[in-house]
């Protein structure tokens, strides 16, 4: 298992690129991109996900086929003429259709152009595809918050600048470059040869020393360690990678995203954070790293309901808020409940002197009462049989990093030997 190694030699054979879009309103534009793909020597596969008027571009896969992939009754949708319902049906069918095409080896990349509806459908389809599969979305929404569209996948979002409405002096440039981007992506050959087994780790600035030390030990043991910044999107990306079955083990040192999820900070990773390894049986180490802090933007962005709380200005754009004993009690139960889902080897480690740099004695977030509430809640709710290791040190102490790394190596070794027997 592991990431594929990139070979910089271009492909010597023609690739098939899915050109997916609403051909009733944006057929001309998708046809323009399809012609550019042909000129480059590749073959476009035209997929219509339009919903109202007749397509202006003849598809290889019709809108009826796209809708039926999810079991939608296309005839009923046509009678209703409800665009919202049609977009919803296509957003369910397109991912299934595209995943099937990828699994069958019929396409090597995908590009789509759209406004609101087209972007919703196109990115829904792309999010269903593996990390590493070439995906390009030209969108009127790409200049704003793209997180709901990209999710945890490597979708390249290109701002359309003008609306996707005809070929003009601006759109011609944008669409030509987008076509070049998807062609260039499929032309780069990626070797399927496996590298070292992959481990993933979660990190924050407040746990960097711990993760760096552990990473060095794990790399010397022959593993490739991928570190994810626990900023919401980082946690979601790590969970998605674990679900993809590329990962041999998880060093979840920084579970801070749950503090934001619970309290209302800006870096939550969603309600399934900590579940991928547990449900998938992937060996894991879990610690309450940085559960002492909730993240906000600049001071003026902090909601007024938190007035009077303990704050720390990390930088001009990031304001941290200390979690209370009551919040820590809830966080301890959440962490334990998630770990309790584990069907594979897992150990929880508690650094009793500090769960971040700034919760150490003498630091701004030092709060023994809150830490005690967190630790006691974890002890109370963790199910019997799951090892709980308590160490009288700070999270960034070398001995804590070493203990976590060695325990993960033991778990991974046990899991790998079991698979090989």
Q: How confident is the model at residue 190 (pLDDT cuts 50, 70, 90)?
A: confident
> Is residue 2 a part of any domain in this protein?
no
Based on the domain organization, do 352 and 378 belong to the same domain? yes
Based on the domain organization, do 227 and 370 belong to the same domain? yes
User: What pLDDT score was predicted for residue 265?
Assistant: 96
Q: How confident is the model at residue 194 (pLDDT cuts 50, 70, 90)?
A: low
> Is residue 419 a part of any domain in this protein?
no
Indicate the burial class of 286 (C-beta count within 10 angstroms; 0-12, 13-18, 19 or more). Answer: buried
**Is it the case that residue 327 has pLDDT exceeding 60?**
yes
Based on the domain organization, do 381 and 352 belong to the same domain? yes
Listed ranges 104-118, 144-158, 192-206, 404-418; the one with the highest mean pLDDT: 104-118
Average pLDDT along the chain: 91
Based on the domain organization, do 214 and 70 belong to the same domain? no
Q: CA 27 → CA 20, 24, 32, 48, 161, distances in Å? A: 10, 6, 9, 9, 19
Residue 229 lies in domain: 198-413
Q: Which of 138, 167, 190 is the last residue of a domain?
A: 190
| CATH number for the domain that contains residue 242 | 3.40.50.12030
User: Which stretches of 6-82 are DSSP H helices?
Assistant: 27-39, 63-68, 74-80
User: What pLDDT score was predicted for residue 51?
Assistant: 81
> Is residue 418 a part of any domain in this protein?
no
What integer is the mean pLDDT of 246-262?
97
Residues 111-151: tens digit of each pLDDT:
999 999 899 999 999 999 988 899 999 999 998 888 889 98
Q: Are 211 and 254 in contact (CB under 8 A)?
A: yes
Residues 257-312: tens digit of each pLDDT:
999 999 999 999 999 999 999 999 999 999 999 999 999 999 999 999 999 999 99
* SS3 annotation, 45-56: EEEECCCCCCCC
Q: Which of 167, 190, 213 is the last residue of a domain?
A: 190
Based on the domain organization, do 148 and 237 belong to the same domain? no
| CATH number for the domain that contains residue 23 | 3.40.50.12020
Based on the domain organization, do 165 and 205 belong to the same domain? no
CB atoms within 10 A of CB 73: 12
Based on the domain organization, do 136 and 208 belong to the same domain? no
User: What pLDDT score was predicted for residue 417?
Assistant: 63
Based on the domain organization, do 244 and 356 belong to the same domain? yes
């Amino acid at each position: 298992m592991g990431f594929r190694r990139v070979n910089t030699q271009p492909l010597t054979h023609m690739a098939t690129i899915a050109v997916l879009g609403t051909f009733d309103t944006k057929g001309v534009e998708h046809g323009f991109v399809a012609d550019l793909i042909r000129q480059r020597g590749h073959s476009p596969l035209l997929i219509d996900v339009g919903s109202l008027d007749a397509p202006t571009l003849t598809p290889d896969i019709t809108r009826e086929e796209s809708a039926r992939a999810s079991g939608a009754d296309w005839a009923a949708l046509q009678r209703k003429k409800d665009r919202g319902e049609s977009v919803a049906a296509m957003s369910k069918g397109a991912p299934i259709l595209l995943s099937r095409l990828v699994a069958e080896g019929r396409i090597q990349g995908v590009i789509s152009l759209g406004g609101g509806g087209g972007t919703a459908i196109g990115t829904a389809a792309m999010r269903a595809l593996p990390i590493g599969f070439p995906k390009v979305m030209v969108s009127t929404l790409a200049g704003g918050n793209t997180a709901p569209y990209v999710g945890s996948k490597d979708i390249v979002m290109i701002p359309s600048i003008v609306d996707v409405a005809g070929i003009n002096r601006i759109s011609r440039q944008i669409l030509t470059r987008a076509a070049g981007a998807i062609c260039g992506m499929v032309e780069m050959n990626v070797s399927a040869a496996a590298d070292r087994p992959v481990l993933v780790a979660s990190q924050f600035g407040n746990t960097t020393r711990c993760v760096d030390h552990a990473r060095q030990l794990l790399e010397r043991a022959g593993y490739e360690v991928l570190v994810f910044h626990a900023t919401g999107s980082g946690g979601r990306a790590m969970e998605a990678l674990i679900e993809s079955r590329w990962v041999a083990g998880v060093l979840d040192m920084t579970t801070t995203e749950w503090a934001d999820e619970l309290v209302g900070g800006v870096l939550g990773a969603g309600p399934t954070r900590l579940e991928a390894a547990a449900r998938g049986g992937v060996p894991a180490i879990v610690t309450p790293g940085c559960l002492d802090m909730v993240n906000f933007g600049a001071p003026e962005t902090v909601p007024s309901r938190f007035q009077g709380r303990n704050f720390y200005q990390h930088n001009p754009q990031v304001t941290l808020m200390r979690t209370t004993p009551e919040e820590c009690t809830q966080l301890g139960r959440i962490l334990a409940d998630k770990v309790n889902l584990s069907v594979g080897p897992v150990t929880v480690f508690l650094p009793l002197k500090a769960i971040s740099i700034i919760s150490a004695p003498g630091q701004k977030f030092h709060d023994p009462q809150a830490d005690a509430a967190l630790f006691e809640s974890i002890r109370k709710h963790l199910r019997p049989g799951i090892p709980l290791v308590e160490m009288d040190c700070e999270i960034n102490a070398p001995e804590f990093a070493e203990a976590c790394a060695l325990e993960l190596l033991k778990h991974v070794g046990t899991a790998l030997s079991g698979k090989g027997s």
